[in-house]
Structure 1
């Protein structure tokens, strides 16, 4: 609840608890692999995920830690309108504060938020990785849990092609923007169209995808 009252996440209270529970269930089940977040804003959801996992499990947080990349022709008008608002410098942040994407030292702000809420990166095996996903997100290890919160088609697809093939049986991917932005929805629908062995379910305002356990 402190994450909400301190305005560190765009998630509703219900969706924040759902995210925490999903990560905690994966942890309790002992599903092998990394925890990943792609797109962390001010770090509110990362705090929840960090609290759900064991200290020793590696948790990688990928983010531009600045302005998000432009959308593509795969994104519809809703996405392009939102990006123009962000690019213009007129986007408002949570509680009418500064929009997080305009914060110059965002990586340091997120690091401090994690520490302030009891999950300092140094003692919880957390790594913050700065850059666009197509440049930074290359995986060779199994993945147990992923929270994909990156809005546009190309960003979501970049995450999927790296994460899904390495998702362990029983692993979970939570898509933050499936019901919010056309680009995310198109990427997820396209990617999973010919995939079997996955359970897709709407929980609150988010899409949760679980890989079948063997």
Structure 2
């Protein structure tokens, strides 16, 4: 990863055009080729960016980032205050918090709460874009991918959608249905999930542990 702090102006030329006047900003260039322009606010959100695959050409005081669609981010450098590169190595990925990990373990051990005849194929089923929390079979023998969250939001539905798209390319597994499971599911996430044919299950942590009634609510 390369970190550059510079006084610069930025112009985007593509389907639309945008201009950032001269100011001191952080330019973040990642190993995947992406480049993002950050100010000292807006939390993690960049002012502008170019997603990979793209190429960076540095000529004199002008950086030109071009993506596969021919769109360009043109950065005019006035002064570089800092320029450093760092090798971060392979990232192990996000580790779920204790509640999510335990929910996954409990549900995998008690597949029958989803219905009679349900059976586990594997926890943390590997895919090219990350592991699926639970891959299982329903009573009819169909393949089901389950994404588990403590709090179910739109990002989780998007994540499961990507898994389903990939899993359904495997002729040995397809067709693969999806279940979005969480202790609490936000209304917007539920609407998006149901629109995409994904079932929603509200998990009761205590019930799965056998403390209370062990019925799950399937919507």
- TM-score class, shorter-chain normalisation, is under 0.3
More strand by share: 2
Structure index of larger Rg: 2
Greater RCO between the two (CA within 8 Å, min separation 6)?
1
